[in-house]
Amino acid sequence: MFHRSRTLIVVLAFTCTYALAQSVPNVSQVLMWSTLTTRPIVPVTTPGGTFTPTVNGTPVSGTLPLSLLSVYTEKAVNGFSLDIINAPNNYSVANASALSSALSTNIALALSVTPVESPTSGVILKTDPATGAALPVSSTLGPIFTKRAETIGKGKFYIGFTHQDYHFTSFNGQSLNGLSVLYAGGDQSGIPGANGTAPATINLGMDVRLSQDVTFLTYGVTNRFDVSVGLPAVHSSVASRAYNGIIYSGTGLGTSAADKCWCVNTFTPGSFALTALSIGQSSMSKSGFGDLVVRLKGSVIERPHFVVAAGLDLRFPTGDETNYLGTGTTSIKPFVAVSLFSKPVKGLVLAPHMEAGWQYSGKSTLAGTLQGSTQSFTLAGAAISYVGAPFTTTKGYLPSVFSWALGTEIGLNKRNTVLVDFLGNQIGWGHGVQTLVTASAPGVLPAAPGFNGGTVNATGLAAATGRSSYGQYSGAFGYKFRVAGDLVATVQVLTRFDHNGLRADLTPLYGLGYSF
């Protein structure tokens, strides 16, 4: 390769980078901002001497503006000489944009499918037309997450409050605290005869949390039709750290086609940096009102031992989607709910329940693509192109969701009810969901301290082709008890059975509800 004797010395030097705590405009951009870094263009000192980056023979120094960590590629100028400052082209490492967009979509899904306590749970009294007395509808206190088929009764009110904390720990089965994301390489260099850019990976450590305090009110319009309104107060928090960037470029001395010319690739223009141990970090949290939910429900069939109801959930985009407080779009969900009741057996009442619904949503920035803007930086008359902030987002359809639930209430007595529920969401039927897959690309480890060199497969997450669908399945186990009169307290834990999309292992719920 060109200037082989000089470049063999230079490859052993690496430019230090420092993790920067970034000032982020909103929560949905935290991940991308953690991959932004400033990178100094400085002389490279090696045992063989000091080499100063030049542009057409003119020594230069300076700092690249705040930009996405990228693999830069060299170019040839004046025949066979090399311009050490790189060509005005760069390639974003590791599909950080794809990961950020997929993460945003899955957070929006978590907000839109998060189960909240059924807003007609608790004590339901209806007037007996024969006697005029107010009698309880059933011998249980109703389900928690599953919709209750019974309506509340004409002129009756139910007010409730619930609190939920979601701590997401994995994405598609991989821990959020150490995701590896892949840039597959293959983009062409300006050097005649050189191989294209080598693959690269970076690691991301993330902490993603959502909490919801939902207040809802139900009113019985007639004995068979009620309306519920719920408004959540949401707190979102995301922290991200980008680290351990590696360009799998090798020494450039091998005879194998896999041993790509190292001089094609660098993290820092002019400095031939094949590693970036510390890149950047950012975090942000936000609190505010979420999306307003309105539920219309009417009983279709009422019998002494079962009730069938049909209804409609409407979700309005009142929450700020850029800070993960809402989904950024209107959603509509028709549903059917069924409640069954057994005769008491030794004081116990078994009350199975089930529901099914299909949620359709419009377009949202959380289902689009987050991407940086291309800008130019001039150094000694040479234009260096880079990608950085501000970030822009396209809009896409939030995935459709078919949801179902099956469970039972176990009425121990009139004051205590135990609940078991199984819940499922088939996400992406209709409009698909953005996701990532584990991919690999052949490369060669850098010849540097800590690396032995040699052929290796660079492995990490990359954007999937097109959109897909997947299932999410959970179990919910709870307990409801009458504190005093018609005041009912709720305790429940939700646990996930699968590893698709964002996963929170255990999610507690606490609630209070009062009928009057």
Domain boundaries, the chain: 4-515
With contact defined as beta carbons under 8 Å apart, do 391 and 372 qualify?
A: yes
- Encode pLDDT of 110-153 as tens digits: 888 876 666 555 555 544 444 444 444 556 777 777 777 888 88
- Report the pLDDT value the prediction gives residue 134, as an integer from 0 to 100: 42
Summary mean pLDDT of the chain: 81
Question: What is the separation, in whole angstroms, between the first and last Cα of the chain?
Answer: 84
Entry pTM: 0.85
Fill in the DSSP letter of residue 46.
E
Question: Phi and psi at residue 148, in whole multiples of 5°?
Answer: -90, 130
- Enter the tokens of residue 497: 């059975």
- SS3 call for 134: strand
Residues in the chain: 516
Question: Of 71, 74, 90, whose CA–CA distance to 82 is shortest?
Answer: 74
> pLDDT over 70 for what percent of the chain?
81
CA dihedral 465→398→367→474, nearest 10 degrees, is -80
Mean pLDDT, residues 491-508: 92
Give the pLDDT band (50/70/90) at residue 369.
confident
> pLDDT over 90 for what percent of the chain?
37
Looking at 3.20.20.140, 3.30.565.10, 2.40.160.40, 3.40.50.1000, the CATH number of the domain 4-515 comes to 2.40.160.40
Peptide bond into 390 cis (omega under 30): yes
How many Å apart are CA 485 and CA 122, to the nearest integer? 11
What's at 71, amino acid-wise?
Answer: V
Range picked from 45-59, 75-89, 163-177, 426-440 for highest mean pLDDT: 163-177
How many Å apart are CA 46 and CA 13, to the nearest integer? 6
How many Å apart are CA 363 and CA 430, to the nearest integer? 13
Range picked from 57-66, 298-307, 492-501 for highest mean pLDDT: 492-501
What percent helix, strand, coil does the chain show, rounded to 5? 10, 55, 35
Question: Of 355, 436, 364, whose CA–CA distance to 400 is shortest?
Answer: 364
- Report the pLDDT value the prediction gives residue 308, as an integer from 0 to 100: 94
Question: Phi and psi at residue 99, in whole multiples of 5°?
Answer: -65, -45
Which residues are CB-neighbours of 119 under 8 A, at least 6 positions away?
Answer: 158, 160, 216, 217, 218, 228, 230, 295
How many Å apart are CA 25 and CA 33, to the nearest integer? 9
- Encode pLDDT of 149-200 as tens digits: 888 888 889 898 999 999 999 988 899 998 999 998 888 776 666 677 889 9
Give the pLDDT band (50/70/90) at residue 8.
very low
- Enter the tokens of residue 286: 């936000």
Torsional sign, CA 495, 114, 147, 492: positive
